[in-house]
Amino acid sequence: MDDVIPAPLVPRVPVAGGAGAFPVHRIYCVGRNYVEHAIEMGHTGREAPFFFMKPADAVLVVADGQAGELPYPPLTSNLHHELELVVAIGKGGRDIAPADALAHVWGYAVGLDMTRRDLQNEMKKQGRPWCIGKAFEASAPIGPITPAAAVPGIHDAAIELRVNGELRQSSRTGKLIWSVAEVIAHLSAAWTLAPGDLIFSGTPEGVGAVVAGDRLEGRIDGLSPLQLQVVA
């Protein structure tokens, strides 16, 4: 049977070094997964990980060595950066044990969980879903994906975001409250993971606002950096 409208395109993230592309299935995000960020958001203590999602086409692909253009989204006056280690799932599954979880990872990338913080806060206050704060177009900028085998040090790597050259976020991936393996175990108890899924693993402290004209540079040791310019 023929499609009655053009089929939606599958977003594809380039693999670092030009070695192909990673088609995106779903985007999962982990909330409050670094202690100091949980504190700056008004929470304390270790809580079970919780998740939200962005649509696959929220991906903003930025090619290796290029600066992407991030359109300032509508309805907000408080667009926040959240720099995150992104996990790219190569092998699906459900009820994956933590000890088996890393075998499901294809690779890693630098990503930003862009957030309309004013809208998210309003939804929190009203007990409503976060979608309008988190799941808008281009809300998931991502750099090229590096194969897992090429970054053995990724689980305790420096993670840093600069805005206009000024250091805003600085931590280590080893400070994740729930490790990549534990996140995969928890996620796969609730959803069946599939090849092409991306997991934004949470942001360290130092989140803050950006405005049109700002230049963002996100780095995680061992991965291709993510460079963006916010445009009106």
**Closest listed residue to residue 105, CA positions, set 51, 142, 147, 150:** 147
**Which range binds Mn ion by CB under 5 A, 35-43, 95-103, 185-193, 203-211?**
203-211
Three-state secondary structure call for residue 21? strand
When the beta carbons of 203 and 227 are compared against Mn ion, the nearer one is 203
User: Does position 37 bind Mn ion by CB under 5 A?
Assistant: no
Quick one: which of 24, 82, 87, 89 contacts Mn ion (CB under 5 A)? 82
User: Does position 113 bind Mn ion by CB under 5 A?
Assistant: yes
Backbone angles phi, psi at 144, to 5 degrees: -60, 150
User: Does position 139 bind Mn ion by CB under 5 A?
Assistant: no
Structure tokens at 72: 């300032």
104: which residues sit within 8 A by CB, 6+ positions away? 89, 90, 91, 92, 93, 96, 184, 193
Three-state secondary structure call for residue 112? strand
**Which range binds Mn ion by CB under 5 A, 77-85, 125-133, 148-156, 180-188?**
77-85
**Which range binds Mn ion by CB under 5 A, 89-97, 101-109, 113-121, 140-148?**
113-121
User: Does position 203 bind Mn ion by CB under 5 A?
Assistant: yes
**Which range binds Mn ion by CB under 5 A, 93-101, 183-191, 202-210, 213-221?**
202-210
User: Does position 197 bind Mn ion by CB under 5 A?
Assistant: no
Distance CA 111, CA 103 (A): 21
**Residue that the structure tokens 């996100």 belong to:** 218
Chain residues that interact with Mn ion, rule: CB under 5 A: 82, 113, 203
